[in-house]
Amino acid sequence: MTGRIIKTLSGFYYVATDNALFECKARGSFRKSGVSPLVGDIVEFETTENEKGIIDEIMPRKNCLVRPPVANIDKLFIMSAFESPAPNTYLIDKMTVIAEFNNIEPIIIFNKSDMGDFSEFSAIYKNAGFKTYVVSAKENIGVDAVLSEMTGCVSAFTGNSGVGKSSLINALFGNNNIKTGVVSEKLGRGKHTTRHTELYALSGDTYVVDTPGFSSLELELNNYELKEQLEYLFPDFSDYLSGCKFASCSHTKEKGCAVLEAVKNGFVEPTRHESYLRLFEEMKDLKSWESKIK
Ligand code: GDP
Ligand code: ZN
């Protein structure tokens, strides 16, 4: 049988299929190979008795994060609010970079549209080519569009405490069979000291993963490979990279840089390039041997 691991607890893996949940053990061979099953993994398993089973094989992963330990996230919803705290383009851009690096689609959400005008921010991200949603979890505005974006995917939400992640999840799935209380608690205020990752099925193959806020994912920046790829992790630069005069152009200050030219001419958003410069600066001293081992 094939299913998806939605939870691990005390050495058991809980594998969901379309209509049941199986409590599984992993075959001993996994331990030897050093690959251990993760929440989010699609696995082949053999049933034993009473909805119990043994995992035989882990299907190839689309991606796999270390913090939180989870595999196969399709979409990262990067959420900001109009105030408390206000949108921070650098934090948003940093998350888009981490998402792109991990082969996760970044999607931008501005919540609390009832409190003000986000058009300036949403224009930046639309121009940069990202799917961008302006919503109000409180007044249930724009929430359906987010729901259809999530359908059939494994989604994670990230954003500072207070931006309305729990409110949005509740607005999305309030009447569903999901344990909203638990999700609110987990997605909420970061009171929980235990890092416990779990996927919640919202319907059939639609899942949401509880994710700690911005801070935990920041660790992913300490990665030499990411540093090396930085220019490619800004999809809005891709049309210009080949136009730079020097092949080794860092797109920071060089003469004949097509990216800088595109910023000047309004084809690349200045705040996106500012974030690039800041990330470039932050990572410039990172050496290959300092890179976090995945
Ligand atoms: P979280 O920490 O990201 O999970 O944020 P919460 O969902 O706990 O929301 C933080 C605060 O913002 C709460 O007081 C919510 O009632 C409020 N809030 C959430 N969404 C909205 C919204 O769309 N509009 C307004 N005005 N307030 C909201
Ligand atoms: Zn350049």
Angle subtended at Cα 273 by Cα 270 and Cα 277, rounded to the nearest 5 degrees? 135
Q: Which ligand is nearest to the CA of 169?
A: 1
Give pLDDT, residue 68.
Answer: 79
Tell me the mean pLDDT in the region 71-88.
90
pLDDT at 218 over 50: yes
Cis before 69? omega within 30: no
Give pLDDT, residue 210.
Answer: 67
Confidence grade of residue 214 (pLDDT, cut at 50, 70, 90): very low
- Least Cα distance to 77 among 194, 156, 171 occurs for 156
Among protein residues, the one with the nearest Cα to ligand 1's atom 10 is 162
Give pLDDT, residue 186.
Answer: 41
> Ligand 1 centre from 180 Cα, in Å?
15
* Amino acid at the residue 2: T
- Best mutation site among 167, 172, 180, 183 for ligand 1, i.e. most ligand atoms within 8 A of its Cβ? 167
Lowest mean pLDDT among 70-79, 161-170, 271-280: 161-170
Among protein residues, the one with the nearest Cα to ligand 1's atom 9 is 164
Write the pLDDT tens digit of every residue in 4-22: 999 998 889 999 998 889 9
How far is CA 226 from its chain centroid? 15
Confidence grade of residue 211 (pLDDT, cut at 50, 70, 90): low
Q: Which helix (H) or strand (E) holds 206?
A: strand 206-209
- Least Cα distance to 153 among 186, 187, 104, 217 occurs for 104
User: Percent of the chain having pLDDT more than 90?
Assistant: 63
Ligand 1, CB within 6 Å, residue ranges:
111-112, 114-115, 136-138, 161-167, 187-189
Query: Higher model confidence: residue 91 or residue 35?
Result: 91
> Ligand 2 centre from 281 Cα, in Å?
15
Residue at token pair 């383009």: 89
Mapping DSSP to helix (H, G, I), strand (E, B) and coil, where does residue 45 land?
strand
Q: Report whether 23 contacts 17 (CB < 8 A).
A: no
Write the pLDDT tens digit of every residue in 15-47: 999 888 999 999 877 767 778 899 999 999 999
Give pLDDT, residue 292.
Answer: 54
Mapping DSSP to helix (H, G, I), strand (E, B) and coil, where does residue 282 land?
helix
pLDDT at 170 over 90: no
pLDDT at 74 over 90: yes
Query: Higher model confidence: residue 34 or residue 134?
Result: 134
43 φ, ψ to 5°? -130, 155
- Predicted TM-score (pTM) of this structure: 0.89
Query: Higher model confidence: residue 103 or residue 30?
Result: 103
Q: Report whether 212 contacts 188 (CB < 8 A).
A: no
Give pLDDT, residue 178.
Answer: 45
Maximum Cα–Cα distance across the chain: 69
* Protein residues with C-beta less than 5 angstroms from the ion ligand 2: 244, 249, 251, 257, 259
Mapping DSSP to helix (H, G, I), strand (E, B) and coil, where does residue 249 land?
coil
Lowest mean pLDDT among 214-228, 236-250, 260-274: 214-228
